[in-house]
Structure 1
Amino acid sequence: MKNHSIATVMRRELEKVLPKDLTAEQVKILDQAENLFKQAYQAGFNEARLSGGEEWSNNACLGYAILGAEKLKYSEEQTRKLVRSMYGVFDLTSVGEAREVYNKSSY
């Protein structure tokens, strides 16, 4: 998700809980908070890149799975099934949930 999208989502959530009769000064404060959220997100992203952190993606995860399957000498069909199965799980499972499954596993 792009940083402006996160800020937009956060702002919409704030608007749900804030009174409808906000003053111009209160709206200005919300705009300033939105800009600070954008800056904080960008700073964290840049820090991760500078400290050797790499961008994670579903495609990177699938690449790891393919490499592992090749190392185990899976057939092309077995690898295809593994990749399709994993791809289907991406929409149903958050990164945090997947991490917990791994952390609780015996692997």
Structure 2
Amino acid sequence: MKNYGIAAVMRRELEKVLSKDLTAEQTKILDQAENLFKQVYQTGFNEARLIGGEEWSNNACLGYAILGARKMRYSEEQTKKLIRSMYSQFDLTSVGEAIEVYNKSSY
């Protein structure tokens, strides 16, 4: 997967901040920063693939929740409430924040 779009967006934003008349040195620094962002992204992506071995997604997370709810014999309505509550958190909470919440919990 080579989705480096965020590096390009960040570069464009930096170019706006620095002005349109960039010096050769400033352009070189932006090129280096963009390449570093790409390397960081690729490294993180590769590590995630090695650790997990499978693609992770919000749907996978919700599937685990459904499986856990079934094991706990939650009713259909309880499971729906759980899934809706979790789904709404995807937009409000970053993956890092969710990991931190879990790591600090007693579970």
User: Shift of the alpha carbon at 1:90?
Assistant: 1.1
User: Shift of the alpha carbon at 1:13?
Assistant: 4.5
Contact 2:4 2:41 in 1 (8 A): no
**What is the Cα-based RMSD across aligned positions, in Å?**
2.5
Structure 2 residue runs of 5 or longer lacking an equivalent are none
Task: Map residues 38-57 of structure 1 onto 2, 5 A cutoff.
Answer: 38-49=38-49, 51-53=50-52, 54-57=54-57
State which drifts further: 73-82 or 7-16: 7-16
User: Shift of the alpha carbon at 1:12?
Assistant: 3.9
In 1: Cα distance, 2:25 partner to 2:7 partner: 19
Contact 2:62 2:86 in 1 (8 A): yes
In 2: Cα distance, 1:106 partner to 1:24 partner: 54
User: Which position in structure 2 is the counterpart of 1:73?
Assistant: 73
State which drifts further: 36-45 or 61-70: 36-45
- Residue 102 of structure 2 aligns with an amino acid whose one-letter code is Y
The structure 1 segments of at least 4 consecutive aligned residues displaced by more than 6 Å after TM superposition are none
User: Which position in structure 2 is the counterpart of 1:27?
Assistant: 27
- Residue 72 of structure 1 aligns with an amino acid whose one-letter code is M
TM-score (norm 1): 0.75
In 2: Cα distance, 1:94 partner to 1:48 partner: 16
TM-score (norm 2): 0.75
In 1: Cα distance, 2:95 partner to 2:47 partner: 20
Aligned residues: 105
The 3 A distance-change label for structure 1 pair 12 and 62 is same
